[in-house]
Amino acid sequence: MTWHPHITVATVIEDNGRFLFVEELKNGKLVLNQPAGHLEPDETLREAAVRETLEETGWDVELTGVVGIYLYTAPSNGVTYQRVCFTARAVRHHPGRALDTGIVGAPWLTRDELAEQPERWRSHLVLECIDDYLAGPIHSLDVVRD
């Protein structure tokens, strides 16, 4: 078997102590995640983060920094994901825009509201990225070389 890690992006968006999340159906269960998804061919990491956020939440965002780079192996299927987590600010909402298949909504929650629902996290990275964002440092976008 050939091992192929999956490259993904995620975006932490904060507005007055609330964070933008994606509520999605995964294996018949509603889970919470950052706006996140896979890098597509001929796309930069930055482009992927902006695109995924719009597709999953209906929000245009401006990237402001990098929280970190994470390696995660899903216990359900053994697939390894490399996640590049960005920070962004919400710029414009498109409330009439259809969201990606499986996305139920895009709620804004506080860190504590998220922490109270561990059974709803898509993975432990959901809270870890928020906590790393809050603890800092946030790295310059210049660390990402497209």
For 31-54, the pLDDT digits (tens) are 999 999 999 999 999 999 999 999
Kind and range of the H or E run holding 103: strand 103-105
Q: Is residue 71 included in any domain, yes or no?
A: yes
Which residue range(s) make up the domain with 66? Answer: 6-143
Round to whole Å and give the CA distance between 40 and 47.
Answer: 9
Q: Is residue 41 included in any domain, yes or no?
A: yes
Q: Is residue 44 included in any domain, yes or no?
A: yes
Whole-structure pTM value: 0.94
Q: Is residue 102 included in any domain, yes or no?
A: yes
Where residue 77 sits, what CATH number does that domain have? 3.90.79.10
Task: Write the DSSP symbol of residue 107.
Answer: -
Q: Is residue 136 included in any domain, yes or no?
A: yes
Round to whole Å and give the CA distance between 120 and 100.
Answer: 19
Q: Which residue reads 């992927």 in tokens?
A: 48
3 against 138, higher pLDDT: 138
| Cα angle 45-48-51, degrees, rounded to a multiple of 5 | 155
CA neighbor of 118 nearest in space, from 108, 128, 106: 128
Given this model, what pLDDT does residue 1 score? 59
Q: Is residue 22 included in any domain, yes or no?
A: yes
Q: Is residue 1 included in any domain, yes or no?
A: no
pLDDT tens digits for 15-35?
A: 999 999 999 998 889 999 999
> For the chain, how many structural domains are there in total?
1
Q: Is residue 75 included in any domain, yes or no?
A: yes
Q: Which residue reads 């561990």 in tokens?
A: 118
Q: Which residue reads 């996305």 in tokens?
A: 103
Round to whole Å and give the CA distance between 13 and 89.
Answer: 6
pLDDT over 90 at 125, yes or no: yes
* Environment class of 41 (CB within 10 Å of its CB; exposed 0-12, middle 13-18, buried 19+): exposed
